[in-house]
Amino acid sequence: MAAAELIFDPRAAHGEAAFDEVLNLARTQAQAQGLPYAGIVSAQDAWQLVQAGKAVLVDVRTNEERTFVGYVPASLHVAWATGTSMNRNPRFTRELEAKAGGKDAVVVLLCRSGKRSAAAAEAAAKAGFTHVFNIAQGFEGDLDEQQQRGHSGGWRWHALPWLQD
């Protein structure tokens, strides 16, 4: 599913209205697509929202992925699944609520490709989170023709800030 087409440009922003426009477009598209959560935003828009203090970014990947693949500076971490068997974290929504600052916080979720974070966003919405968004393409993007990630989308491909241990 596609993210909202608007790519937020802070140089052209006019205060709160620009942030609201990004989120409202994502909500409108989510409703049209029948998504069970607030919507999908681009990595660029997510970063602008986070930088402006309008959203918190929560990485739902495993500790191992964050360590070996990289992570977004100042992102929060609540694993959706854990270990090599990828068992779902039964405390996910409780941990998310505690770290994000409540169920009414604007939360943007990030995983490897946008698939786990979509499932996490759905679970969060079902648990009562009202402003939870999925970041399109995740951290590494979709698989390319060679079955590799990182060549055609995702947080890193868009040259957004990230670190690696």
pLDDT at residue 1, rounded to an integer: 47
pLDDT at residue 86, rounded to an integer: 86
pLDDT at residue 153, rounded to an integer: 81
- Tokens at 165, concatenated: 């241990």
pLDDT at residue 84, rounded to an integer: 78
pLDDT at residue 109, rounded to an integer: 99
pLDDT at residue 29, rounded to an integer: 95
Q: Is 60 in contact with 111 (CB distance < 8 Å)?
A: yes
pLDDT, tens digit (0-9, with 9 covering 90-100), for 113-142? 999 999 999 999 999 999 999 999 999 987
pTM: 0.88
Mean residue pLDDT across the chain:
88
Query: How are beta strands 132-135 and 76-77 bridged, if at all?
Result: unpaired
* Domains annotated on the chain, with CATH: 14-135 (3.40.250.10)
Measured in degrees and rounded to the nearest 5, phi and psi for residue 148 equal -120, 150
pLDDT at residue 67, rounded to an integer: 94
Q: Which residues in the chain come in under a pLDDT of 70?
A: 1-16, 143-144, 147-151
Strand partners, 39: 133
Alpha carbon distances (Å) from 24 to 2, 33, 88, 119, 134: 15, 14, 30, 21, 14
